[in-house]
A and B are shown apart, each in its own frame.
Chain A
Amino acid sequence: MVLAIIKYNAGNIQSVLYALERIGVAATVTDNQEQLKSADKVIFPGVGEAGSAMRYLKERNLDLVIKQLQQPVLGICLGMQLMCRYSEENNTDCLGIFNEKVQKFNSEELGLKIPQIGWNSIYGLKSKLFEGIEENSYCYFVHGYYAAPGEHTIATTNYDRPYSSALKKNNFYGVQFHPEKSAVVGEKILKNFLEL
């Protein structure tokens, strides 16, 4: 199996590579369009800021390439948010694969700590991505923006409100948490993705 990780100006690619290595899978980090199109699976990682990430993708036509991918694609954290329609983070139009809009947690309203950092539970698990994962399993999150629940939600998490901790549409999957840092639960989710 050829597994490609999209190379762009966002962090944590290394962490994803190491996590895959721990479960015995090699991956290619690339921004080459042909390599991405021909891979069996694609991971779209991300820690960073939505506006500059989208600019970077557009400058290299990677936005169009990602939207047209036919194989299973997994967006992680910012990667998932970029697959949504729009992000409030610097007013950014995103890829529009998922209809959901990405909004900022409002700390002033609720006395919340922003970003949310730490382990939170996921429930309402719907897809094969979560096969063998128990309801209310804990995953590691670091984010200040969230996607509201919507038609593509396949996992939900509560912070100040319920939000989408995972989304799915056709071959596209997105998770708000970091499976590469979520201990054995995260490893199982990555394995499930590789077996889709």
Chain B
Amino acid sequence: MLTKRIIPCLDVKNGRTVKGTNFVGLRDAGDPVELGALYAQQGADELVFLDITATVEKRKTLSELVSRVAHHINIPFTVGGGISSVQDVSALLESGADKISVNTSAFKRPQLIDELAKEFGSQCVVLAIDAKKEDDGEWYVYLNGGRTKTDSKCVDWAKKAVELGAGEILLTSMDHDGTKQGFALDITRTLSAQLPVPVIASGGGGSLQHFVDVFGLAHADAALAASIFHFKEIGIEELKRYLLVHQIHVRI
């Protein structure tokens, strides 16, 4: 039986993890490769590296990082952040990334998804959506890291992206992100029910029960979180044991 996936996300700037961690025992807490390897060893099912570097050196440092990750880590990983062309993706996949995620660039030019899927296959194209629930009760797509509102409904954009060839949807609820009050169960459930591809839920995971809910009630295929892992509020092994006890099928 296919298991539900737990995915730690590492924010990376100039090749270093940001937002900090409180891991003792790491030789270098700022090294994404070392932290990623630790998560892999603890039972993470995949990793996401989100690059937030804004300099012109970005591409080179990111490719170098991806290559180091690929050398050292024995589970799949996705790379995202500012990817906007077939050439960007080609360089990252050649460096050893398993998947890439696109967000704003794909919304602005949806054909990008089609180009990437045709060139590299849907299996490596993850569409990331930042969404927020508005007063009308609908979830809307936001761009540029949540700074720019659009008039597109989250469900519509997700469906279109899947038609164009997106192989997975990484849904982040801006309303829940950072709150530790639980995942956005309603929109996660909606996407999971309406899309033929896996949905990764992100934003709001703060307790063990939140993960049980996002899998059990909202039928997410995977759940992503960052700071609760980085600050050891929840351990991956502990989380997976809890999920198993609550009849959520995970790999241990």
- Footprint of B on A, CB under 8 Å? 11-12, 14-15, 18-19, 21-22, 47-49, 107, 112-121, 138, 140-144, 158-159, 178, 180-184, 186-187
Contact = CB atoms under 8 A, between A and B. Distances in A.
Contact of A117 (B75, B96, B198, B251): B198
Query: Top 3 nearest A-B pairs by Cβ distance?
Result: A138-B251, A119-B251, A142-B123
Contacts of B121: 11, 47-49
B2 A120 contact: yes
A11 B124 CA distance: 11
A115 B122 contact: yes
Interface residues of B, number: 31
Contacts of A121: 1
Contacts of A187: 74
Nearest to A115: B123
A115 B120 contact: no
Contact of A158 (B1, B45, B222): B1
Given A11-B120, A119-B5, A22 B94 contact: no
B167 interface: yes
Interface residue SS majority, chain B: loop
Contacts of B251: 119, 138
A140 B75 contact: yes
A11 B96 CA distance: 10
B187 interface: no
Given A120-B2, A120-B3, A183-B40, A14 B70 contact: yes
Contact of A47 (B71, B72, B123, B221): B123
B75 A18 contact: no
A56 B222 CA distance: 35
A182 to B, nearest CB: 8
Given A22-B72, A113-B198, A115-B167, A138 B94 contact: no
Contacts of B122: 115
Contacts of B124: 11, 47
Interface in B1-54: 1-5, 40, 45
Interface in B95-145: 95-96, 98, 120-124
